[in-house]
């Protein structure tokens, strides 16, 4: 009979220890060691045939190269994030807050693939078959090739995959699946790791594109060991605000495409609707001719997006002024405020500053620095900005405005939406010809940008 051995495994890096420790010796994380039960069996004598590989080492020069075949999901926003579509034999992980729409997105994608004649198996471990059917009726995702299974036992799921031979497999969610031979509860570190490894083998051997749905922690990271994200080929995060109807699909890891792309959806009663032009969505409620409002041009992968930056500067009642921002890096805003104080002479030491990206979008690139500076200066001086101006550029510590990439695409997006002027770095004009119908104002310093935007 197998002897049961107790060990402690770190949830972050997978380091094993025979006893519990408050701090992981591998990654230094605190209170991340969890208890696992491991069955120790006697190793077989001799070499095991199951451990032998059929492939032999080959020279990288003689290996044939080619692009991976792609399968369109029917959702252009999802195809954009994946890099062009599904890759057969790939293993993907989708995470997001509860109720954000992960199951809705995958059910719509499954129906679209089934409508193309592909076999799709949707395995639900959290909902019954009838509950899944009710959601499918509401979304209108009914297809003869879409098969639904309510099961959490990994062995039974493998039998269903072997008998059905699907082209697309969805596991909702990986935290509910368990292996009977692993002495741990479903959702534990050992179960999630072993089940993911088994699904990876099934996906690679059978050429099945597999999607695993993962729960997230209160910090927003996918629950389970960090090793989980290293095992899969693609990690997607489905994000959104509770008070807004749109959802963002973002890739943080993608072996078959870029990680800079985002997909934007609008949650409706009939399911998720793709947003082809997100700039119109984010600027639909923008007030015109008010102080503290400025339109910034940002790049999300290969797509230019125009968003509204709002700033409010008001006298503080505290010994230390407050600096709050939503949708932007807090450190970048502190840098911009310091440049306005030192280089522009704006006395902001006794002023509270609040900066917000309207609509709940989050901007990662530094090209929004100049728009933030214009918004803060406009609110401080109580001078309205021009209603049809677009501003972008990176702000340096000496007050200079640095060039940003893909300025031509940002200008074309502003022209398409009816804007008349673009304030941009002077160095960004090199290498391309400005389109007709829009005025470009190149600037070298923040002072020149504020003069053009506020005077």
**Binding site per annotation, positions for ATP:** 96-103
Structure tokens at 437: 């119908």
Q: Please state the φ and ψ torsions of residue 73, each to the nearest 5 degrees.
A: -85, -10
Q: Please state the φ and ψ torsions of residue 346, each to the nearest 5 degrees.
A: -80, 120
**Could you tell me which residues are annotated as the binding site?**
96-103
DSSP symbols for 317-354? SSSS--EEEESS-HHHHHHHHHHHHHHH----TTEEEE
Please identify which residue in the block is written with the tokens 């401080």. 380
d(CA 200, CA 212): 10
Half-sphere exposure in the Cβ direction for 431 (13 Å, CA): 9
Half-sphere exposure in the Cβ direction for 389 (13 Å, CA): 25
Structure tokens at 149: 């299974």
What are 425's strand-pairing partners?
443
Structure tokens at 282: 């984010």
H-only helix segments in 48-124: 76-82, 102-115
């Amino acid at each position: 009979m197998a002897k049961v051995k107790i060990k402690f495994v770190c949830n972050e890096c997978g380091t094993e220890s025979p006893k519990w420790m408050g701090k992981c010796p591998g990654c230094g994380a605190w209170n991340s060691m969890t208890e696992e039960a491991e069955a120790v069996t006697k190793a077989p004598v001799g070499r095991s045939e199951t451990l032998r590989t059929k492939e032999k080492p080959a020279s990288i020069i003689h290996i044939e190269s080619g692009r991976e075949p792609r399968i369109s999901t029917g959702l252009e926003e999802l195809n954009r994030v994946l890099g062009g579509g599904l890759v057969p034999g790939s293993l993907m992980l989708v995470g997001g807050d509860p109720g954000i729409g992960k199951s809705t997105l995958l059910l719509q994608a499954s129906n679209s693939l089934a409508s193309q004649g592909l076999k799709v198996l949707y395995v639900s471990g959290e909902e019954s078959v009838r509950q899944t059917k009710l959601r499918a009726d509401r979304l209108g995702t009914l297809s003869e090739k879409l098969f639904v299974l309510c099961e959490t036992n990994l062995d039974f799921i493998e039998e269903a995959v072997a008998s059905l031979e699907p082209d697309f497999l969805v596991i909702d969610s990986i935290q509910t699946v368990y292996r009977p031979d692993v002495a741990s509860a479903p959702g534990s570190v050992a179960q999630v790791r072993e089940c993911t490894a088994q699904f990876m083998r099934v996906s690679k051997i059978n050429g099945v594109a597999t999607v695993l749905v993962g729960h997230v922690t209160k910090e927003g990271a996918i629950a389970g060991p960090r090793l989980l994200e290293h095992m899969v080929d693609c990690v997607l995060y489905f994000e959104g605000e509770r008070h807004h109807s749109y959802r963002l699909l973002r890739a943080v890891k993608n072996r078959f495409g870029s990680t800079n792309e985002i997909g934007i959806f609008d949650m409706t009663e009939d399911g998720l609707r793709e947003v082809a032009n997100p700039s119109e969505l984010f600027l639909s409620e923008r007030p015109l001719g008010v102080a503290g409002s400025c339109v910034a041009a940002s790049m999300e992968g290969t797509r230019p997006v125009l968003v509204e930056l709002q700033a409010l500067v008001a006298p503080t009642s505290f010994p230390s002024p407050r600096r709050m921002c939503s949708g932007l890096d807090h450190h970048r805003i502190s840098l911009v405020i310091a440049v306005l104080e030192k280089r522009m002479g704006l006395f902001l030491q006794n002023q509270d500053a609040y900066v917000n990206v309207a609509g709940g979008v989050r901007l990662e690139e530094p090209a929004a620095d100049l728009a933030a500076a214009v918004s803060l200066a406009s609110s401080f001086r109580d001078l309205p900005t021009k209603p049809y101006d677009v501003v972008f550029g990176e702000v340096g510590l000496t007050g200079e405005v640095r060039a940003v990439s893909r300025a031509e695409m940002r200008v074309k997006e502003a022209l398409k939406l009816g804007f008349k002027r673009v304030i941009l770095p002077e160095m960004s004009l090199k290498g391309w010809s400005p389109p007709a119908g829009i005025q470009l104002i190149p600037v070298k310093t923040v002072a020149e940008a504020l003069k053009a935007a506020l005077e």
